[in-house]
Amino acid sequence: MISIKNVTKSFTKDKKAVDDLDLEVLDGEIFGFLGPNGAGKTTTLRLINGILRPDNGTIEIDGYDIEKEGIKAKEQIGFVSDNPDQFLNLKGIEYLNFMADIYRVEDRFAKIERLTKRFEINDVLNNALNSYSHGMRQKVILCGALLHEPHNLILDEPMTGLDPKSSFDLKETMRNYADQGKCVFFSTHVLEVAERICDRVGIINKGKLYFVGTIDELKETVHENNSLEQLFLEITGNEQ
C-alpha cells in the first residue's frame, strides 16, 4: 500500500511540479496515473521511490516512511523507471544478478530463468545491455524489478516500446500481482490501457490531482456520454 499525504515538490521558485498531493493506492488494486506531459507523474513516482525528497508531506510504503525508514520502505518496492538506458555496460545476466544481490533474492537462478523466459529475453542474457533494442532493455529492467517479488510494483510508462505480446504479458503480470493482494501503481498515456486494466485511476495536471476513482465514476462525473479521450481533455483543460 502506498500512502501519500500533503506532498509538494518544486524544482523552481515559481512552480510546483507536485502540489499538495494526497493519494492512497491500495493493496489488491491496479492504479493508473494519467496526465498530460509535464503534469507531475514521473516526479510523483520518483518521490515515492525516495529518488527525490518532498519539500512537504510524507510518503509511506506498507507503513514505512520513505525518508525515515528508507531501506525498509524500498525493500517493499519494485520500480521500473521511464528510461531503461541504465547500466549499459553490464550483460543482461550481470544486471539481474546485481539486482538479486541488492534485494537478497533466494533461489535466484530459477527466478531469473522463469522471468526471462516469460519475457523472451533468456537467450540474450550474455550480451551487454547496450547491444539490446529499447524494448529488450525495458524487459530486463522489468525482470530486475520483479525478481524480489515486491509488494508494491511501481512503473513509469511501462508499455512504451514493448511489442504487443510483451505488453500483453506485462498487463497479465500486473493483474496477477494485484490479484495476489499486491499494489500496482503505474503511469500511462494510453487511455485504452487504463480503461482495460485499472481498478482505479487518478488524473493529475500541473501537479494537482483532479480526479481519483474508477473509470465508470470518471465517466459519470462529466455530462453526456463522452469518450474517455474527450473526458481526459476536458479535465486537463485542453477541450477542443
Ligand X SMILES: Nc1ncnc2c1ncn2[C@@H]1O[C@H](COP(=O)(O)OP(=O)(O)OP(=O)(O)O)[C@@H](O)[C@H]1O
42 forms part of the interface with Mg ion (CB under 5 A): yes
Answer with the entry of Mg ion, ligand X, none that 40 interacts with (C-beta below 5 to 8 A by kind). Answer: ligand X
Measured over all CA atoms, what is the biggest interatomic distance in the chain, rounded to whole angstroms?
Answer: 55
CB of 110 to ligand X, least distance (A): 35
Q: Which amino acid is at 66?
A: I
Residue 47 beta carbon to ligand X: minimum distance, rounded to whole angstroms: 9
Scanning 10-18, 42-50, 115-123, 204-212 for contacts with Mg ion by CB under 5 A, the matching segment is 42-50
Question: Which residue, 11 or 109, is less far from ligand X as judged by CB?
Answer: 11
Nearer to ligand X, 76 or 187 (CB): 187
Tell me which residues touch ligand X (CB under 6 A).
11, 17, 35, 37-43
For the chain, the distance separating the N- and C-terminal CA atoms, rounded to the nearest angstrom, is: 37
Question: Which partner, Mg ion, ligand X, none, binds residue 111 by CB below 5 to 8 Å per kind?
Answer: none
Residue with Cβ nearer ligand X (45 or 96) = 45
Gyration radius of the chain's alpha carbons: 18
CA dist., res. 45 & res. 51, Å (int) = 9
- The Cα–Cα gap between 194 and 26 comes to 17
The three cell numbers of residue 59 are 510518503
Smallest gap from residue 97 Cβ to ligand X (A): 30
Q: What, of ligand X, Mg ion, none, does residue 78 touch, CB below 5 to 8 Å by kind?
A: none
Coil vs helix vs strand at 227: coil
Residue with cell 494537482: 208
Residue 202 partner contact from Mg ion, ligand X, none using kind-dependent CB cut-offs of 5 to 8 Å: none
* Least distance (Å) between residue 118 CB and ligand X: 27
Q: How far apart are CA 156 and CA 209, in angstroms?
A: 17
Provide the edge-to-edge strand list for the sheet that holds 15-25. Answer: 15-25, 2-12, 56-61, 64-65
For Mg ion, which is the closer residue by CB, 186 or 211?
A: 186
- Extract the runs of DSSP E, i.e. beta strands, from 27-149: 30-34, 56-61, 64-65, 77-80
| Residue 168 binds which entry of Mg ion, ligand X, none, CB below 5-8 Å type-dependent | none
Q: Residue 14: left if φ>0, alpha if ψ -120 to 50, beta else—which one?
A: alpha
Q: Which does 80 bind (CB under 5 to 8 A by kind): Mg ion, ligand X, none?
A: none
What is the nearest approach in angstroms of Mg ion to the Cβ of residue 105?
Answer: 28
List interacting residues with Mg ion (CB under 5 A).
Answer: 41-42
